[in-house]
């Protein structure tokens, strides 16, 4: 079963893809925000192309576990996906994934300009990998 991981942002959505066994997550792409219908079309393209059976969306909780403005916006996006897709949509705690992705890219000595292009899909891969790891720990 392949799973699509999403890191929802104001301007971009990072996307990652699991392998068919659901063990590993790989960065896939960055979807630029041009409105929800256009984003939905692009997500549908990946659902068909890769046989996606589930979507995991990172939920940006505050450090104390509460939901702030960003989480409320992400909740609305998740509701939009649930209303328009016939797939399970899971929300997953994404606290610190963007900073983790930044650290990985810094360790790889990637330039700021290159980091900006891949940080969102790297964060999506970290979110998805965290979810996949939780499944194997059951």
What's the CATH code of the domain at 11?
3.30.420.140
62 pLDDT band, cuts 50/70/90, is: confident
pLDDT for the residue 61? 82
Going by C-alpha positions, the residue among 76, 110, 74 that lies closest to residue 95 is 74
116 pLDDT band, cuts 50/70/90, is: low
pLDDT for the residue 68? 82
Strand order in the sheet with 52-59: 25-32, 12-18, 2-8, 52-59, 89-93
- Decide if pLDDT at 96 tops 90: no
How many structural domains comprise the chain? 1
Q: Are strands 89-93 and 52-59 parallel, antiparallel or unpaired?
A: parallel
Domain extent at residue 52:
2-136
| Cα–Cα distance for residue pair 75/59, rounded to 1 Å | 8
Q: What is the pTM of this model?
A: 0.85
- Decide if pLDDT at 24 tops 60: yes
pLDDT for the residue 98? 61
């Amino acid at each position: 079963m392949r799973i699509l991981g999403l890191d929802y942002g104001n301007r971009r959505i990072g996307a990652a893809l699991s392998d068919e066994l659901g063990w590993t997550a790989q960065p896939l792409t960055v979807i630029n925000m041009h409105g929800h219908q256009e984003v939905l079309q692009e997500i549908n393209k990946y659902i068909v192309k890769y046989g996606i059976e589930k979507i995991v969306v990172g939920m940006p909780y505050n450090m104390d576990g509460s939901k702030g403005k960003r989480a409320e916006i992400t909740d609305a996006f998740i509701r939009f996906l649930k209303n328009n897709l016939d797939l399970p949509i899971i929300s997953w705690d994404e606290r610190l994934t963007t900073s983790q992705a930044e650290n990985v890219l810094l360790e790889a000595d990637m330039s700021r300009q290159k980091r900006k292009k891949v940080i969102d899909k790297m964060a999506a891969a970290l979110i998805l990998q965290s979810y996949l790891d939780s499944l194997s720990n059951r």
